Amino acid sequence: MARLLVTGGAGFLGVNFVRHVLAVTDHRITVLDKLTYSGNRVSLEGLPESRLTFVEGDIVDALLVDALVQDADAVVHFAAETHNDHALAEPAPFVRANLVGTFTLLEAVRAHGVRFHQVSTDEVYGDLALDSPDRFHEGDAFSPSSPYSATKAGADLLVHAWVRSYGLRATVSHCSNSYGPYQHVEKFIPRQITQVLRGDRPRVYGSGEQVRDWIHAEDHSSAVLAILERGTPGETYLIGANGERSNLEVVKLILELMGQPQDAFDHVADRPGHDARYAIDSTKLRTELGWEPVHRDFEAGLAATIAWYRENEDWWAPAKDATEAFYAARGQ
Ligand code: NAD
Ligand code: TDX
């Protein structure tokens, strides 16, 4: 039995990971989360208190981080500022949480010789052309285009430097866009689902031809656990499930699954610097660690996600008005 420190465990992917680990292992988990606007304590309700401890705190707080790392066998680092539209509006919190926060954790795991896993994004590799067959691979050079992805890339570089310089036992994963329960309503899929649930129209940035490579959050969780348990320290793994779809395809599928006409959405102002396409080659994770996704049917996964938001309005409704006010001020 291991003791895991999970940062950002009250956010979308962190909650899904905590729930997955508690279900399939006998590990004990301490969650460290600042409960920013995107963290939600309610998402962790109902889980066994004997195996889950929640600490409200900041990953930039070196004393707190050191004390928690000291008691852990491994740290799984999800905590971050994660929304591209916020990063464009106000990048400072991203530099603080993503760069200084990761640095603070690295210093603590270095001091105590603790295994570390960095949860990162495919966006560090920049974007791909819409008409190219290319996909991202582990050896590709970082080329982030946005304030968010630049801070994630910077944090990943710190991890690699700590591995090389201090012999840290660390792995890094880069995942494509995830969907599933407990995702904040600011993100693409939950925003459009909750628009329809409220009787409003989905909003597509620009042409909507941009492509994202969708993976269910539960598959992300099983991949991170596989890397933690069987990955080689120092190595990078790309996580993806061959889920490429344009934003237009996704919004039309949401409308169809929710019984609405396929043209019942609006095109709104585009995102500045909008990345065209992300696509993951996850061959290394599959062949070296034997990982496979469970959710291979995107339509079924999306229908289940729609059902979750339909049934959990109490969870998302408190954040919806502020989210839409933020977008309205930007013509989105
Ligand atoms: P999220 O915004 O839903 O959750 C982030 C969590 O981190 C929140 O609970 C928040 O309270 C916490 N947090 C933020 N700043 C903190 C700080 N200073 N100290 C402690 N906690 C803090 O994000 P998510 O979608 O769950 O993403 C989690 C991780 O996965 C991030 O590192 C992100 O870059 C990465 N990622 C996400 C996706 C995706 O599609 N969601 C894809 C690839 C990678
Ligand atoms: O209302 C919208 N309309 C729209 O067309 C929103 C919120 C988004 N979009 C577009 C922008 C993107 O092309 O949908 C796509 C997905 O947007 P986001 O959900 O904001 O995700 P993205 O910017 O692709 O980044 C996500 O995946 C990688 C996560 O937010 C990151 O944290 C993760 O690293």
Contact (Cβ atoms closer than 8 angstroms) between residue 175 and residue 156: no
- What is the distance in A from the centroid of ligand 1 to the CA of 13? 7
User: What DSSP character marks residue 141?
Assistant: P
For residue 108, how far is the Cα from the chain centroid?
A: 23
In whole angstroms, give the CA distance from residue 123 to residue 146: 9
Give strand ranges (E) for 202-297. 203-205, 211-213, 215-216, 236-239, 244-246, 266-268
In whole angstroms, give the CA distance from residue 216 to residue 223: 11
Q: What is the residue type of 27?
A: H
Give strand ranges (E) for 133-251. 170-175, 178-179, 203-205, 211-213, 215-216, 236-239, 244-246
In whole angstroms, give the CA distance from residue 92 to residue 251: 31
For residue 171, list its beta bridge partners.
117
pLDDT at 1: 74
Contact (Cβ atoms closer than 8 angstroms) between residue 50 and residue 95: no
Give strand ranges (E) for 122-193. 170-175, 178-179
For residue 173, list its beta bridge partners.
119, 237
Element (H, E) at 4: strand 3-7
Residue nearest ligand 2's atom 34 by CA: 121
Q: Is 148 a catalytic site residue?
A: yes
Contact (Cβ atoms closer than 8 angstroms) between residue 221 and residue 16: yes
Distances (CA, A) of 137 to 40, 217, 280, 284: 33, 21, 7, 9
Distances (CA, A) of 276 to 91, 200, 242: 21, 26, 17
Structure tokens at 189: 């899929």
- Relative to beta strand 244-246, strand 211-213 is antiparallel
Q: Which whole number is the average pLDDT over 225-237?
A: 98
Q: Is the pLDDT of residue 246 over 90?
A: yes
Q: Is 107 a catalytic site residue?
A: no
What are the pLDDT digits (tens) for 143-155?
Answer: 999 999 999 999 9
Q: Is the pLDDT of residue 53 over 80?
A: yes
Q: Is 314 a catalytic site residue?
A: no
pTM given for the model: 0.98
Structure tokens at 98: 């993503």
Q: What is the residue type of 327?
A: Y
pLDDT at 204: 98
- What is the distance in A from the centroid of ligand 2 to the CA of 188? 5
What are the pLDDT digits (tens) for 17-50?
Answer: 999 999 999 999 999 999 999 999 999 999 999 9
Domain regions of the chain by residue span: 3-178+215-239
pLDDT at 229: 96
Contact (Cβ atoms closer than 8 angstroms) between residue 189 and residue 254: yes
CATH of 3-178+215-239 given 3.30.70.100, 3.40.50.720, 3.40.50.2300, 3.40.50.10260: 3.40.50.720
For residue 125, how far is the Cα from the chain centroid?
A: 16
What are the pLDDT digits (tens) for 252-298?
Answer: 999 999 999 999 999 999 999 999 999 999 999 999 999 999 999 99
For ligand 1, residues with CB inside 6 Å are 7-8, 10-14, 33-36, 38-39, 58-60, 78-82, 97, 101, 119, 121, 152, 175, 177-178, 184
